[in-house]
Amino acid sequence: MNEELKCIGCGATIQTTDKEKLGYTPKSALEKGLEVGEVYCQRCFRLRHYNDIQDISLTDDDFLRLLNSIAEKDALIVNVIDIFDFNGSLIPGLHRFVGNNPVLLVGNKVDILPKSLKRGKLTQWLRERAHEAGLRPVDVVLLSGKKISEMASLMEMIEKHRHGKDVYVVGVTNVGKSTIINGIIKATAGLQEVITTSQFPGTTLDKIEIPLDDGHFLIDTPGIIHQHQMAHYLGKKDLKITSPSKEIKPKTYQLNEGQTLFLGGLARMDYLQGEKNSFTVYVSNELDVHRTKAQGADDFYQKHVGGLLVPPQKEEIPEFPEFTRREFSVDKNTDIVFSGLGWISVREKAVIAAYAPKGVEVVIRKALI
Ligand code: GDP
């Protein structure tokens, strides 16, 4: 086989011999990949097509070494996050790993959020959340990686802050890092042929290097897997429904105590205590929201999951994790965030119960909108 073949997802050298090692792809899949001109390692293939992630996790020595090796560099760190899934985008402990290096925060998928949301407010909000996570970005850039036209201003921003140094692009999977890297490559036309790959010292992880015009490089690192994203439990069909592809249309519900909202069959919120209150749901337009009485909501779910309440699809129900219930007492203008799915914004003080599949994070934050 071709020694130089790299996975187009993570940059690992493709190999067909060791299932446990990076870059493994079954021979048959490799042949198919070569036919269509898209070779993925098995891990990236599964990630893309089934979101079936098993092997490499955040605690893996390789990833820790990768992050540590970045700390030792004198470089600009570009951290790509998904604005729609801020919590799911965070690399735990990143601030410790970047050392004294400046961090440029890139908030991707800005096209998904309502246009009425002012960019200045969003930038400020991202800055505050970054500070809470211990990161002090030198700048915050909002963009849509799908728009090639926005790559020029991203590159300008990178030039402004890299001060003649290398640039490391880091991010968890699914934030759109590859889309942005591909966009940069397209925008800096002609560079395709000179992209090289090399390994992080002491790891089995490959990196993709794009030359900059002064002998330095823009280095794309392998995507880091975040454990608590909803996406890990969903099939391809489900992801089509839950991943917003265009501007979200918020849906507002006036609820009384004792009422319940279902977000498809993936999450549930009970309004336990408070005055008549306004709840605005920010999820993909394709995901149906259902209102019902809290009393009887369990039966409603059992009866309708996989039917009226999708995803999960009927055939996925046996494998789908059970709901975990958590109660929150929230102040006015608070978001209840279901990692990777979206959030419900509560107008006034309330006591609520949030249900999400076991393993999926639910967090409370100051309202974004
Ligand atoms: P990576 O795992 O971080 O490399 O992420 P990908 O580049 O594979 O993107 C993950 C998903 O997000 C894909 O379905 C992309 O189409 C989508 N995506 C990437 N950038 C954008 C964007 O700017 N807007 C929207 N709406 N979707 C995006």
- Dihedrals phi, psi of 340, to nearest 5 degrees: 85, -5
Position 345, amino acid: S
**The pair of three-digit structure tokens given for residue 194, joined into one six-digit string:** 């000179």
Partners of 46 in beta bridges: none
H or E segment at 307? Answer: none
Question: What are the b/e assignments for 277-301, b being 16+ CB within 10 Å?
Answer: bebbbbbbeebebbebebeebeebb
Query: Alpha helix (H) ranges present in 37-144?
Result: 42-49, 61-71, 86-89, 94-97, 119-132
Q: How far is the CA of 332 from the centre of ligand 1 (A)?
A: 32
Taking a C-beta distance cutoff of 8 angstroms, is the pair 362, 337 a contact? Answer: yes
Average pLDDT over every residue of 69-77: 91
Report whether residue 111 contacts ligand 1, using a CB cutoff of 6 Å.
Answer: yes
Protein residue with its CA nearest to atom 17 in ligand 1 = 176
DSSP 8-state code for residue 221: P
- Helix (H), strand (E), coil (C) string for 263-283: ECCCEEEEEEECCCEEEEEEE
Could you tell me if the ipTM is greater than 0.90? yes
Region(s) of the chain under CATH 3.40.50.300: 61-220
Does the structure show a pLDDT above 70 at 58? no
Report whether residue 173 contacts ligand 1, using a CB cutoff of 6 Å.
Answer: yes
Architecture of domain 61-220: 3-Layer(aba) Sandwich (3.40)
Taking a C-beta distance cutoff of 8 angstroms, is the pair 323, 357 a contact? Answer: yes
- The pLDDT, as a whole number, for residue 319 is 87
pTM, 2 dp: 0.81
Mutation probe of ligand 1 site: the residue of 38, 44, 113, 179 with most atoms within 8 A of C-beta: 179
Assign 57 a pLDDT band (cuts: 50, 70, 90): very low
**The pair of three-digit structure tokens given for residue 261, joined into one six-digit string:** 């909202």
Residue 106 CA to residue 126 CA, distance in Å, equals 10
Assign 35 a pLDDT band (cuts: 50, 70, 90): confident
